[in-house]
Structure 1
């Protein structure tokens, strides 16, 4: 997912933030910023982040729907009878 060109030090970023922001906007790829040679943070442009967040939300929705479809269900009439019975409603 990440290329070696996507990895930079926090010091590099702090010295030339405009260059990084332009590169992020142009490439639409996230960058990893390191501290003492270890990954510390991931940064990306706002548009790409928003798209990623939308895709994550969509995936969660699909997962919820799949789970609901796999669970046992009952008919509306059965639910209605049970609900009316609990409330003492007679028809």
Structure 2
């Protein structure tokens, strides 16, 4: 969770103190929200933390896909392998 006082700063402040902000992001692993004219405009994050975020998102999307597949099986929304094969052959114009 972002700390309102520590993690939200003006873009001008970021430009003046870029190295300090980078050190802070590396130490905390938290992004910094940058404002322009008092309005949040940009989020900056160190590369390692961003990669962890992407990895977590990919894992969650995989889990959601598996859950959807299990729900489909439970609800009977499935096809036999031969039905699937026939459908793909028709779709891509492949003859038996």
TM interval, short-chain normalised: 0.7 to 0.9
What is the total number of aligned residue pairs between the two structures? 84
**Residues 23-47 of structure 1: CA distance to partner in whole angstroms, max 9, x if unpaired?**
1111111110000111001111110
Runs of 4+ in 1 over 3 A off after TM superposition: 86-89
Q: Which residue of the partner structure matches residue 41 of structure 1? A: 42
In the alignment, structure 2 segments of 5+ residues that lack a partner are: none
User: Which whole-Å CA distance do the structure 2 matches of 1:29 and 1:55 have between them?
Assistant: 15
User: How has the CA–CA distance of structure 1 residues 70 and 15 changed in structure 2, closer, same or farther, with 3 Å as cutoff?
Assistant: same
In the alignment, structure 1 segments of 5+ residues that lack a partner are: none
Q: How does 1:18-37 map to 2 (within 5 A)?
A: 18-37=19-38
Q: Which residue of the partner structure matches residue 61 of structure 1? A: 62
Q: Which TM-score applies when normalising by structure 2?
A: 0.76
Q: Which residue of the partner structure matches residue 51 of structure 2? A: 50
User: Which whole-Å CA distance do the structure 1 matches of 2:7 and 2:95 have between them?
Assistant: 65
Structure of higher CA gyration radius: 1
* Superposed CA RMSD: 2.1
User: Which whole-Å CA distance do the structure 1 matches of 2:61 and 2:39 have between them?
Assistant: 30
